[in-house]
Structure 1
Amino acid sequence: MAVNLIKGQKISLKKDDGSNLVNFCVGANWGAISEKGFFRDKVVPVDLDLSLALFDTNKRLCDIVYFGKKSAPGIFHSGDDLTGDVDGDDGLDNEVISIDLNRVETKVEQIFFVLNSYNQVEFNKIPFASIRLYEGTPTRVSKVFATYNVANDHTFAYKVSMILGKLYKRNNEWKFSAIGEPTSDRKLEDLITISVMKFL
């Protein structure tokens, strides 16, 4: 059963058979805003961006994967979604980052997942927005391990970016820690080089 993540929570990456989860996806799903108009409703696009940042054992930034740089060893980004779901929640993720921990560079010790609103729409104005960690592919979900509801959490009200959580190595084994920290950073660069640095 999927875990509804809360701030500071740590989750196991162990599968039911006792093996470690090494191939999985992190996906973000959100909706466009529908505004009532005089003659017809108006759709306001919501451009959220799911990204990750990789750091080495010396807490140095190794790489960033986002819509503008879609891959790194063991990591692939599905591409940029500029609008969100227009006709309600279709149950599919708008942006997905696929990860194979066995192929991630050995120098990488921490991987941070972040979400930011490119067009500065505040999270509380979005009809729905959630992030989930699951086993499968960008088009097929086998098992959801953890979910994080962003739009319905008052913690994120009036914010345009957040740090979801991080993967980190402990005794050569990967673990996941939920951070759930909202920030006011308006650029991905600031989100990673200023806010994320506080959690290294």
Structure 2
Amino acid sequence: MISITTSSSEQDLEGILKLHKENLSSNLSIEEKQNQGFVTVAHSMIDLKKMQQYEPNIIAKDGEKVIAYVLGMTAKSKDDIPILVPMFNGFNYIEYKGKPISEYAYIVVGQVCVDKNYRGQGLFDKSYQAYREYFQTLYDFAVTEVATTNLRSINAHKRLGFEEIYRAKDENGLEWSVVIWDWRK
């Protein structure tokens, strides 16, 4: 039986990390990335524990197995993962509705992933709906960056209601789309 809940134990974080590693861009073939999508930033258990101290993650479980996750990161964790510092710093100048993102109460989707054996069952949408239900009274919106080469993720985020507000390339030439899911609408 599949349940959607918040991460609360080290076992939950281990399940997230296992699923994360299975879908990390560097561990997938070009064909898998094109057809199934991928996650880009390699998180460690230390990273997940740092994020968890501020907000839980939304996870879907089949029994005890983590089969989907939506990670939550806040401005409090902006200095905890060095590779993400530029994204958080960008929120000081990337504007949404006339003011910088950093002036809003926001939560960052630190990544989202569904186990390949459970795709096509609505878990992406259900997990994100649980994310919204959990966080919408605390934050104005969810914001994240999606690699523009990750068409599966771009399309899934659009379908859910995320809107692109900014696009830029990183120091490696990878183009990113900054998208927001405004919960005040």
TM-score normalised according to structure 2 size: 0.29
Q: Which has the higher contact order (CA 8 A, sep 6+)?
A: 1
**What is the TM-score of this pair, normalised by structure 1?**
0.28
**Structure with greater proportional strand content:** 1
